[in-house]
């Protein structure tokens, strides 16, 4: 098994870490000094407000509402030698979104309505590396910040390939709480190789995973709702198989958006105490959930509160490990659990909670 030490934020921060949050610096103009005795009362009040605003004590941010943030959960999957499937979720801010813009490098390739969260970018070159970002536009017309950059390389072109892959077989599904399902299937076959699998809800494509994957997690579903899913295979020449059999699933009733089942939770989660040079640490290990895509980050919760976010980047290891400093007092009990960020940007189910005693 491969293991990898991650970047992390929040606890025992390392210099190589990439922070999971943004802390914009506000440029404040110089303070204005006023003489109260030289101004009439009304003018003095207005000038005082202007002076306080110039000092940064009063700002227009609150009146303008919350700032539009970047789209989250952006993924890019090569669909063929000349196309890439890009997906994302809406920004976490409550600001109204009216439009999305998809960029390839610095070039905008498409504008989409606020209801669309995926696109097939076509007309690309085989065996070429591309970088995609997504930006949201607010009701005021302002364009929000760019999402994180996602990189994808298209496969080599296959000349004179008109044969479609066989259809995926053995499609099965299970409900993961009120807002997600997990799908698995047996691999399709193609004489030149399967490049991707497309997941359909009814007749609409809603998700794509790589050609080596045989499972996917679909999130963002409604509680207590019946869904029908099927899967198609695609090769480098953009030939698409016939659909698999259809699996019908009904999400659990309850609060909207939950992913309460174990399908999205990290597996084999373990936590133990370690002492080094008089300081106590907690060592964690786990296996990533099988999501059908990249798991870019994990949240670590200690005693019921989020303590840090562990950023893995593009290459999720088969066996993950993470260690953090907890204190210098022996005999303290702590409860630890983690959860994974799914490929669409949402957070999966929690691992089982483990109890650790420092110095124990």
Whether the pLDDT of residue 1 is over 90: the answer is no
Residue 202's CB is within 10 A of a number of other CB atoms, namely 11
pLDDT tens digits, one per residue of 131-175: 999 999 999 999 999 999 999 999 988 777 889 999 999 999 998
Reported as a pLDDT band with limits 50, 70 and 90, residue 64 is low
Between residues 72 and 40, the one the model is more confident about: 72
pLDDT tens digits, one per residue of 87-110: 888 888 878 999 999 999 999 999
Residue 197's CB is within 10 A of a number of other CB atoms, namely 30
Residue 288's CB is within 10 A of a number of other CB atoms, namely 18
Whether the pLDDT of residue 21 is over 50: the answer is no
Of the listed ranges 135-139, 177-181, 354-358, the one predicted with least confidence: 177-181
> With pLDDT > 70 as the criterion, what percentage of the chain qualifies?
77
Whether the pLDDT of residue 2 is over 60: the answer is no
Q: Give me the domains of the chain, ranges plus CATH numbers.
A: 3-18+265-357 (2.60.40.10), 72-153 (2.60.40.10), 169-250 (2.60.40.10)
State residue 6's pLDDT score. Answer: 52
Reported as a pLDDT band with limits 50, 70 and 90, residue 82 is very high
Whether the pLDDT of residue 37 is over 50: the answer is no
Calculate the alpha carbon distances from 77 to 86, 118, 131, 151 in Å. 7, 11, 11, 9
CA–CA separation, 145 vs 137, rounded Å?
9
pLDDT tens digits, one per residue of 3-14: 444 544 444 433
State residue 149's pLDDT score. Answer: 93
| Phi/psi of residue 178, nearest 5 degrees | -90, -15
Per-residue b or e along 269-279, where b marks 16 or more CB atoms closer than 10 Å to that residue's CB = bebebeeeeee
pTM listed for this prediction: 0.61
State residue 47's pLDDT score. Answer: 52
CA–CA separation, 76 vs 99, rounded Å?
19
The two structure tokens encoding residue 39: 């101004």
Of the listed ranges 10-24, 228-242, 298-312, the one predicted with least confidence: 10-24
CA–CA separation, 136 vs 100, rounded Å?
5
State residue 317's pLDDT score. Answer: 63
Between residues 179 and 29, the one the model is more confident about: 179
Of the listed ranges 77-86, 184-193, 254-263, the one predicted with least confidence: 254-263
State residue 270's pLDDT score. Answer: 94
The rounded mean pLDDT for the chain is 80
State residue 19's pLDDT score. Answer: 38
What's the mean pLDDT in 4-25?
42
Whether the pLDDT of residue 17 is over 90: the answer is no
What's the mean pLDDT in 65-76?
84
State residue 9's pLDDT score. Answer: 45
State residue 315's pLDDT score. Answer: 57
CA–CA separation, 252 vs 274, rounded Å?
41
State residue 301's pLDDT score. Answer: 94
Reported as a pLDDT band with limits 50, 70 and 90, residue 265 is confident
CA–CA separation, 305 vs 298, rounded Å?
14
pLDDT tens digits, one per residue of 282-314: 999 998 887 767 787 899 999 999 888 887 765
Q: Are 239 and 192 in contact (CB under 8 A)?
A: no
Q: Are 272 and 186 in contact (CB under 8 A)?
A: no
């Amino acid at each position: 098994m491969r293991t990898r030490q991650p970047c992390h934020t929040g606890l025992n921060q390392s210099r190589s870490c990439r922070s999971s949050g943004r802390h914009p610096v506000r440029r404040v103009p110089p303070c204005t000094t006023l003489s109260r005795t030289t101004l009439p009362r009304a003018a003095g009040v207005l000038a005082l407000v202007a002076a306080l605003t110039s000092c940064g004590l009063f700002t227009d941010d609150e009146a303008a509402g919350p700032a539009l943030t970047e789209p989250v959960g952006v993924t890019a999957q090569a669909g063929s030698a000349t196309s890439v499937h890009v997906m994302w979720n809406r920004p976490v801010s409550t600001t109204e979104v009216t439009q999305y813009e998809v960029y390839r490098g610095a070039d905008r390739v498409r504008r989409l309505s606020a209801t669309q969260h995926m696109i097939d970018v076509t007309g690309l070159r085989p065996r070429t590396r591309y970088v995609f970002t997504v930006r949201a536009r607010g009701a005021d017309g302002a364009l929000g910040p760019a999402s994180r950059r996602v990189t994808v390389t298209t496969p080599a072109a296959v000349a004179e390939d008109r044969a479609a892959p066989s259809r995926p077989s053995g499609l099965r599904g299970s409900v993961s709480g009120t807002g997600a399902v997990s799908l698995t299937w047996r691999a399709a076959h193609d004489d030149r190789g399967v490049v991707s699998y497309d997941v359909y809800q009814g007749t609409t494509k809603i998700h794509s995973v790589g050609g080596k994957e045989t499972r996917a997690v679909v999130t963002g579903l409604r509680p207590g709702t019946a869904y029908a899913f099927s899967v198609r295979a695609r090769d480098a020449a953009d030939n698409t198989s016939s659909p698999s059999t259809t699996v019908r699933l009904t999400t659990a009733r309850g609060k909207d958006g939950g992913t309460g089942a174990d399908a999205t939770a990290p597996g084999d989660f373990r936590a133990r105490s370690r002492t080094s040079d008089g300081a106590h640490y907690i060592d964690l290990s786990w296996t990533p959930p099988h999501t059908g895509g990249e798991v870019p980050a994990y949240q670590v919760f200690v005693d019921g509160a989020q303590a840090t976010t562990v950023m893995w980047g593009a290459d999720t290891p088969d066996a993950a490990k993470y260690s953090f400093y907890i204190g210098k007092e022996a005999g303290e009990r702590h409860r630890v659990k983690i959860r994974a960020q799914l490929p669409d940007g949402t957070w999966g189910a929690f691992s089982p909670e483990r109890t650790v005693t420092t110095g124990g």
